[in-house]
Amino acid sequence: MILKLTKNTDPIWKQKFKNVKKITPEIKKLVADMMETVAITSAVGLAAPQVGIALRLFVISYGRLREAFINPKIVRRGKETNEIEEGCLSVPCIRGSVNRVNEIEIDYLDLRGRTKKATLSGYYARIAQHEYDHLSGSFYTDHILDKKKFYTYKTIKIVFFGTPQFGAIMLKSLIGQKLVGEYNIPLVVTAPDKPAGRGQEPKSSPVKDLAVQFNIPTETPTTLKSNAELVNKLKSMEPDFIVLASYGKIVPKEILEIPTRAAINIHPSLLPKYRGASPIQAALLNGDKYTGVTIMKMNEKLDEGGIFGTARLTIKKTDTAQSLSERLANLGASLTHHILHIMTIGDIKPKPQSLTGASYSKILTKEDGLIDWKKPSGNLEEMIRAYYPWPGVWTRYNGKILKLLPNKLVQLEGKEPVKLEDFKSGHSDFNLSW
């Protein structure tokens, strides 16, 4: 369960926080909920008072460390220090540079009630010190004596455009910052409901489902061009940014000019490579070793806008379009927060895309996954991973549809998936391999 965050002005910070007497199921549930809250807010740590619980307990979820620190006590602090910018879930829209020691030793109880001692260094030590301060009712801003070393900014207003799961992951990350108070999302624009399943019942997009879950108003226009009603609605909201992630339509100029700062697109490739509708599938299909995410300023052309930033990601040998899309969406979310933050406090210019090296990925159809099992494609394994879960790689065998799945599985129409070798042993004429 996602927990409500307290602000530094809330009454709880005037209390004296108590040690946890016993690791109860309620404490374990609290820790699980705190970890879920950390995840959605893109945070790295969280203290119990920040969710309204007056206990000496904090969690860290960063890199290799995912741990609950119960009744903690810092028993040693190193001598070397460094100064890094910090923020806080309980102090939104403020950033400042804080000087902290590089290494600490901390005693604590873990979630099993075991006494532990940890030596933390670098950013791990900084997170622990930041959260430890909360257990005595203080904040990182209390450590900044030079007021010139921190700055404030207004809540960032965003209208989000997106449709499939890639967009939903992006939106969830933005919603996390909305819960903190960093962002305001007055509207989500997504595709209209589409018939799905055997009964062809209307089904909403993953983005719409998420927006409804968090009570964010949605619009599902059938067209954006010459849509005066939508344009007027967007203008009345005066958004700082339009953020688009896998929406599915070209956004016209009259909408792109509405935000006061920029209309940006999170594109899952390293532009100008793989512009268009299926960049993730294209990277897998071509056996690329790496791909990435590009944050660009949108224009009326197809993925040709200037670039604000990129992040690179190595493609795993086991990646499918589904798994790679999720990894790229999470990477894109982190990069987007960084870009939005920089653009809010300063003025950065997008870098024009290279005029060379541009390539395009097409809109996929179900027929793209059809193969002749007697004369298959030379890159069948890449094709299976690239087209999973949709459009899928499939063929016709003895009058039925046979799906070729990752991990060397096949599924005959009306049957459960089985190992390829098991299927071949029962169907001697089927000699396809990959």
CA 394 to chain centroid, in Å, comes to 31
Tally Cβ neighbours within 10 Å of residue 93: 16
319 token code pair = 């990646």
As a whole number of angstroms, the distance between CA 228 and CA 45 comes to 45
Active-site residue set: 45, 50, 88-89, 130-131, 134
CA distance 98 to 283: 41
DSSP labels for 70-132? EEEEEEEE-S-EEEEEEEETTEEEEEEEEEEESEEEEEEE-TTS-EEEEEEEHHHHHHHHHHH
- Give every CB contact of residue 161 below 8 A, 6+ residues apart in sequence: 167, 188, 189, 190, 242, 243, 244, 245, 247, 251
Assess contact for 170 and 209: CB atoms under 8 A. Answer: no
CA angle 342, 347, 352 (to 5 degrees): 95
Instruction: Report the 10 Å Cβ neighbour count for 426.
Output: 8
Asked if 177 contacts 89 with a C-beta cutoff of 8 angstroms, the reply is no
Residue 169 has which token pair?
């992951």
- Rounded to whole angstroms, the Cα distance separating 348 from 65 reads 34
Q: To the nearest 10°, the Cα dihedral for 317, 318, 324, 330?
A: -100
- Could you tell me if 5 and 180 are in contact, meaning their C-beta atoms sit under 8 angstroms apart? yes
**Three-class SS of residue 236?**
helix
